[in-house]
Each structure stands twice: as C-alpha cells, then as structure tokens.
Structure 1
C-alpha cells in the first residue's frame, strides 16, 4: 500500500524518529517534513497527501487547529506527549493517537489501523486476496479462536482479562484492553475505561449509554466528546 504521508512536528528528534519508523516499517512515501502548522499549510496548498503524522502542541497554530483546516478526507495520526487531547482528536478524521515517546511496537500497531482504514478505498485489483484486518485470533486457555471483526459487538475489561462479545458467542482472553485497542481499526471506538464498542453494531444512544441490542454500555466522561463528535457527523 503506497500512501503519501507527511510529518508536522516542531520537535526535530520526533520528526527524525518518525522518518526512520516510516522508512523502515512501511512502503509509504514521505513527501514532506514540516516543523510548524503554517509550513504544512503552505505545502498542502500545492500538494496532496493521504496521511498526516500531526503533533498537537506547536507554536503559532496547534495541531488541533490545523486539523480543523484540513480537507475532511485527510487521515490523521496524532503524535503527542499529552494524553488529555485523545477524545477531542476523534472529532477529526483520526485513525490513531500516538503518545510520545513512540515505540516501534506502538507504531506498528498504528500502521495496521492505517492500512485497515485505506484498504476499502483501494481499487479492487490492488487489494490482497485475504485482507488481514477482517479477523484476528483470540487466545483463551489453550484455544486460539478465530473471530471475524464485523461480528464483534464490544470488548469489556475485567481486571487482567478482556471479555470479547460477538453476535453468537463470547470469550475471555488474558490481555489488557489498551493492547487490544492498539490493534483495532475503525469502527471500533473506546467509549469507557472498560469498553470498546463496534460502532456499526450500535443501535441507539440514550441517557449517556450506548445500546447494542439489549446491552447497555456506559459512556465515560473522558471519551464522551470524541464519540459524540463522531455521531454528529453521521446525524441528519
């Protein structure tokens, strides 16, 4: 998958690290390195990109302010040392939110999300015969169970375990919810400290709760704004 991407970050070391990670871990084309938002705006006036690696706290114009000026179909991976902007970031076309210092493991998880996002938009002839993002394997005891992503309703954290609930069965796996979150593409969204939901399975939102069939899932305050901004973009 050959994507045109650019880095916008005022920290030279952060830019250099991302350039190395992109060059060594992906086939993507890095078309620009910009050290502030105004420089990025100048580049984008005459050039198009598929993906931005975008810092948030920058002088003159923040990453959030720049995101608000971009075309709605420009995909973004935010890169920041500050976790408090995570919910707000998903009011844009955000694929992932990377906390600095960025590790190789976390970057690779982000690349999977990026590829899962762009794969449906590729011409049919360019897609692999069996896209890997459509399923994954869950280890439960001695069993490795294959689960189709579209069939998953939600994930629930239960201390050291995560409960994976699908349309037909559920399974417990010895994992942390945040590790699973790092591997999931959209439309899976963290809505609570203990829950990730498949937005496509959502039936309604009422009284600060998500309804998936007969199940009611609370919306955490930290995640409410990002979720509702996503919902508003799909509201008539």
Structure 2
C-alpha cells in the first residue's frame, strides 16, 4: 500500500447501479473535504476502465450489479486500491473481507458510520496501519431487525429474504409482494405485513403501496420509481415519505 502525501486528497470512485444510491454516496463524500470523487460509475465495466488508469486510492463498491458484480470486480484487480463495499446485503460480508475490503457498509448508510470508514481508509493511506486484519464485518443483526419474512400463500408458507423485496401492492383482498425476480401473492393484509417489516427500510407511501427505501431509483413529490415502475405517493403519506427519501440525499 502506497503512502498518500499529506497535501493530497483521497482520490475515490463510486460504483453502484442504482441512481439514488450513487446520489447518496456523492452527498456523503461532499461533506468530507479530504475526499475527491474522480468518477461515478453505474457498472463494474466503467469502473474497471477508470481503475486501469491508476491513481485511485479508494473505491466505494456495490456488490449486486448486472453482468459483473462487485466481488468479481475486486477479484480482477491486481493490485487493488482500498475497497469499501456499500450494499443492502449482509450475506456477502465474509467473502468481502476475504478479498481484503477495509469495510462493509450496509445501506442506508449514516454519516457517522461513513466517517468511521474514512478514518480507517486514512489510517492505511497515511501509513499508520498496514494490516487489514484489524477490520471486522458489520455488527450481527439484532432481534429487532429481522432479515426474513414468512408469507402465507394459498398452499404453503414461504420464507422470503427482506433484501429481495422491492415493494408491496394491496389489490382488492390480496397483497402482491414484488421481489427482484418474481411476485408472491398472499391474503395477509398490507397493514399486518407492514408491522413486521423494519421501519427504517420499508415505508408506506399509499394505502395500496409500501416500498423498500433502498430500491427507489427516482422520486418526486407525487411518485417513486422502482425497477422502471412509477408508484403514487398518497397525499396523507407525502410529508413523511419525502422527508425520509430526502434524508438519503442530505
């Protein structure tokens, strides 16, 4: 690991296929004068091209991306800059640290947690630390933070990973859970399901819709967009929803 000159900023790139996630990371980096964002990439191929030019100190890297994921990108780099994984998925933490990532940030990322990560990066780049074995995976989930949801369907009970849910849609006497690759229909009410979902990760935007906050790709005062589909924001929910989404950008 090369030592960073004291008078030079930490040159970093952001790699994430979700527009909102990229905006959040840009906002976080803008609040730390020591960071200089050299590039913001929507996929691993663009990131690889920037990294081949050299002179990049730090990469904020999403894991689940189309074609080439973040783990595969890191494995292809030799030598590699410092890498911080930014993801909504806990299950890749061990693999990430096996690849010598210096940190693993779970979305949504708070400013306080982000600052701790930059402090770690600064220790490496300033030569104060030479070993990555001091780093540790994210804290284990607590009882109040479930990672699965049990869904009653017509014929069976399905255990669904929360990270796969994009949004819930209430339709007549059923609820459709839209996931990253399919749909699950249940007779359970949307209000009942809402009580079981972590409030920091899911929010009701309409009497008929509840969304996963980290799956939002765009929004305005009347709708959110997830996977190319526009979902309405109800008038009674608008203030809370917009406040929550805006916090992701602040």
Q: Aligned partners of 2:135 and 2:10: how far apart in 1?
A: 24
Q: What are the within-5 Å matches in structure 2 for residues 140-179 of structure 1?
A: none
Deviation at 1:13, TM superposition (A): 0.8
Query: What RMSD over aligned residues (CA atoms) do the two structures have, in Å?
Result: 2.5
Match in the other structure for 2:17: 10
Task: Tell me the SS of whatever aligns to 1:94.
Answer: coil
Task: Tell me the SS of whatever aligns to 1:5.
Answer: strand
Q: Aligned partners of 1:66 and 1:186: how far apart in 2?
A: 19
CA deviation digits over 1:140-186, x for unaligned, max 9? xxxxxxxxxxxxxxxxxxxxxxxxxxxxxxxxxxxxxxxxxxxxx84
Q: Aligned partners of 2:101 and 2:82: how far apart in 1?
A: 6
Q: What are the within-5 Å matches in structure 2 for residues 1-236 of structure 1?
A: 2-120=9-127, 186-190=132-136
Task: Tell me the SS of whatever aligns to 1:120.
Answer: coil
Number of residue pairs matched? 132
Q: Aligned partners of 1:190 and 1:32: how far apart in 2?
A: 27
| Structure index of larger Rg | 2
Deviation at 1:3, TM superposition (A): 1.1
Q: Aligned partners of 1:189 and 1:41: how far apart in 2?
A: 25
Q: Aligned partners of 2:133 and 2:18: how far apart in 1?
A: 31
CA deviation digits over 1:97-139, x for unaligned, max 9? 0000111111011111111111117xxxxxxxxxxx9xxxxxx
Contact 2:103–2:117, Cα closer than 8 Å, also in 1: yes
Moved more, 61-70 or 17-26: 17-26
Task: Tell me the SS of whatever aligns to 1:188.
Answer: coil
Match in the other structure for 1:153: none
Contact 1:6–1:52, Cα closer than 8 Å, also in 2: yes
Unaligned runs of 5+ in 1: 122-132, 134-184, 195-236
Q: Aligned partners of 2:105 and 2:60: how far apart in 1?
A: 9
Unaligned runs of 5+ in 2: 1-5, 141-250
Q: Aligned partners of 1:72 and 1:87: how far apart in 2?
A: 21
Deviation at 1:189, TM superposition (A): 4.2
Q: Aligned partners of 2:100 and 2:136: how far apart in 1?
A: 15
Q: Aligned partners of 1:87 and 1:190: how far apart in 2?
A: 9
